[in-house]
Structure 1
Amino acid sequence: MTHRLSGSSQVDIAILTVIPPELFAARDALGIAESARFKDEVGTVSYRGRVRSALARRDYEVVLTCLGRAGNALSAAAVQDVIARYRPQLVLLMGIAAGMRDKVRIGEVVFSERIVAYEPAAMARTPEGHPHLEPRPEIRTVSHRVQQDLVHYRPDEARLRERFERRGGSFPLPSSGNEALYQEHVATRLMVKLATLASGEKLLRDPGKLREIRSLHGKTEVAEMEAVGLMEACERSGLPWLVIRGISDFGDELKDDRFHEFASRAASAVMADFIEHGLELEKRRGPGVMAIAAVALLVAAIGSGVNAWGALRGSEEPKPNAAIASEQSGSKGDTKPASPAHQVAPEEKPRSSGGPKRQSAVDPQLQSATAAPESKQPVESASTTKTKIGNLKAGDGAKLKIGNVKGEGSTDTQVGDVTCGDNCVFEAGNKGE
């Protein structure tokens, strides 16, 4: 079932694959159902799912997609689209790749420690005038955060094998006459290592070419065709990236299409295990926290304006509340301040049960929306009311609008032009200043 979406929400991890075996292996390893499929407005088919992190103790939101064709240019365009649409914290590229014989085994899984873009070069001439290709490789390493997660990740062999086999993976059996080759070069258990990957636009089917590339960086063991595009797009957006590859061939006679499925399943099992047990991502701030931060900034600005207005009013000292009350009652010469317990609010009327009833100076709408019932704290004059938002206080001039501002069905609070949703606590009254 395909769902067409015009918009999208952010995810924690974006995962890209290149060919269908990689896509289906990744979907199975992550436990993402076919029903999670949807197509966006430009026609890209993706899958959304959640992976429980044992480290972060929360679910990671993931989006999974497939390029369909190989190449760094296509990879860069796809990654840019994913970043703009989903704003992930990390972008993973998972799939198969060619490896160097005697350096890696078929079915072994490698994490990218660094990427060597081996194709940049200068067309030069030798002193004798002969054409000469001068290599100018670009070498990048994964970010410090990702590198630390890789270093501290401890793949458990039994856990990996159980995950691999439970999701449809199996170790290939040698064909007749290839028993010795399989024993020497094909993995019989899930193996994981850090490696340097060479990335370019050419499909390497010549083992000698990979050895030639190794001369550019002595740790190169793997060759593939999409990592440079991923790397460039992520670094332009300031996002960390990681490439995970299962070795499917050596680019020589030991090549079998069955290894595509084997390597894809191995890489996807390791990827899922790393996300659950090795990758630690920070929890993003939700929209409520961002709204509170915006309110805090506005309150600070309001407070600055109130202070500036107070400075412009001159050097006249404000009169104490008791003196104001004394002048309003017409008494002169009695400067003894009345205690709060003996101050009487204007227009008091006796209650039928006896005793005066104090009239609140706070706006009834604000008081009913925010103040606890039967409050025992004395309520001050409206001219000295201050408003507290969390641990921040705003003086006179902070206009508060209480109620459902935009009609979402829950109470929102508006301070100036900023609307704050649930969990914003407002306290009205004089806070001591």
Structure 2
Amino acid sequence: MINNRGIISHGNHNNFSNNAIGANAQASAPAPRHSAEPAIEADAPWDLGIVTILSEELRSVIDELKLHRHRNPNGLYFYQGEHTAPDATLRIVATQTQSQGQRSTMAALENLRRHYNPRLWALVGIAGGIHDAHARIGNVIVSTDVVYYESRKINPRGDTRRRGEHRQAPAQVVHAVNAYFTDHGTPARINSGNAAGTGDQYEIYPGVIGSGEAVIADRNSDIRSYLTTYHEKVLAVDMEAGGLSQYWQENSVDGIANPGWIVIRGVSDNADEEKGHSHHELAARNAAHVLSQLLPYLCHPARSAAGTA
């Protein structure tokens, strides 16, 4: 409140409002209006937006890609940086969800879209392996296919029938992943000395990710049985990839370029009774390292030049 003798007016240009006249005239300054202009971060193209769930996952991405913390005017924290690939300098931003699960993932994607509008989404972190041969602890699954397993019908007498939803990434992302494995073999093999702090070698496989809301810690779980029956190449399970693929699908009707997407998951456990946290760091750092290896295939020079699609 402002005390004034005479006339007081809070207005804008030729618009006059909230006026008061006379002794001890009082008027309240109006609350500032929110700008409808794009956020300052969106003033130039961003090539890659990364979503992580756990702190270990975000730290691994920050260390691998040399990102720096940025707090925007709304109080949201992002981690930004540039990564030099053989043919381009890529602008990269990463964020962490508020919690596990599909819904929080979709909210994080929306924050990235509003403030950075990247041309590619990447979900990077850990998962539980459900394929004994390929998804050993420390291995990395690169996925352009997601099976969401939560949809189901519960009949009388406890008969549950699951209804899987299968989505595949856009064709250009699938081609990029295929090119990587053509060059490096299937499985690709990497010495983890620089990536995970050990001298062991780990393997990288293309495969399908099963995604839902359950934390699976039972080798005899009906979810594991359903997924391997639904698609024999489901190699691992997580709680977020379904949200990523759903967000992409629902934004494919806007009439503007819809980012591609990819899921990169390091195997931290075998989704069984021994599930724990002891291998989170190893799996997260391996996944972040594989992302850096995939960048030259996923982000081409034409995609990093300003004004190109």
TM-score w.r.t. length of structure 1: 0.55
Paired with 1:93 and 1:102, the residues of 2 have a C-alpha distance of 23
Alignment identity in percent? 26
Q: 1:13 matched to which residue of 2? A: 48
Q: Is the 8 A contact 2:188 2:204 kept in 1?
A: no
Aligned residues: 258
Aligned pairs for 1:28-177 within 5 A: 28-32=63-67, 36-54=68-86, 57-103=87-133, 104-125=135-156, 130-153=157-180, 154-155=183-184, 160-161=190-191, 164-166=192-194, 169-171=196-198
Q: CA deviation at 1:6?
A: 5.6
Deviations 1:59-108 (A, max 9, x none): 01000111142100100111122112211110000000000151321000
Q: What SS is found at the alignment partner of 2:303?
A: coil
Give the CA deviation at 1:216.
2.3
Cα pair distance change 1:160/1:102, threshold 3 Å: closer
1:227-376 to structure 2, matched below 5 A, reads 227-237=241-251, 238-255=258-275, 257-276=277-296, 279-280=299-300, 282-283=302-303, 286=306
2:202 match: secondary structure: coil
Aligned-residue offset at 1:254? 4.1
Task: Please give the alpha-carbon distance, in whole angstroms, between the structure 1 residues aligned to 2:124 and 2:291.
Answer: 8
Tell whether the 8 Å contact from 1:152 to 1:278 is kept in structure 2 after alignment.
no
CA distance in 2, matches of 1:15, 1:199: 18
* Max Rg structure: 1
Could you give the per-residue CA deviations for residues 164-189 of structure 1, whole angstroms, max 9, x where no partner exists? Answer: 5335x2238xxxxxxxxxxxxxxx31
- Highest RCO, 1 vs 2 (Cα 8 Å, sep ≥ 6): 2
Contact kept in structure 1, 2:211 and 2:241, CA below 8 Å:
yes
Give, in whole Å, the separation in 2 of the partners of 1:136 and 1:101. Answer: 21
Change (3 A) 1:271 1:96: same
Give 3-state SS (helix, strand or coil) of 1:206's partner. Answer: coil
Looking at secondary structure, tell me which structure has more strand per residue.
2
Question: What secondary structure does 1:105 align onto?
Answer: coil
User: In 2, distance between residues paired with 1:166 and 1:218?
Assistant: 33
Deviation at 1:150, TM superposition (A): 0.4
Pair 1:256–1:138, CA change in 2 (3 A): closer
Q: Deviations over 1:387-430 (max 9, x none)?
A: xxxxxxxxxxxxxxxxxxxxxxxxxxxxxxxxxxxxxxxxxxxx
Secondary structure of the residue that 2:113 maps to in structure 1? helix
The answer to whether the 8 A contact 1:20-1:68 is kept is: no
Rounded to whole Å, the distance in 1 between the matches of 2:216 and 2:188 is 34
Asked if the contact 1:79–1:234 (Cα under 8 Å) also holds between the matched residues in 2, the reply is: no
- The answer for unaligned runs of 5 or more in structure 2 is 1-37, 252-257
* Equivalent of 2:211 in 173, 177, 199: 199
Give the drift of 1:155.
4.0
Compared CA separation, residues 192 and 96, structure 1 to 2 (3 A): same
* Counterparts of 1:149 and 1:23, CA distance in 2: 24
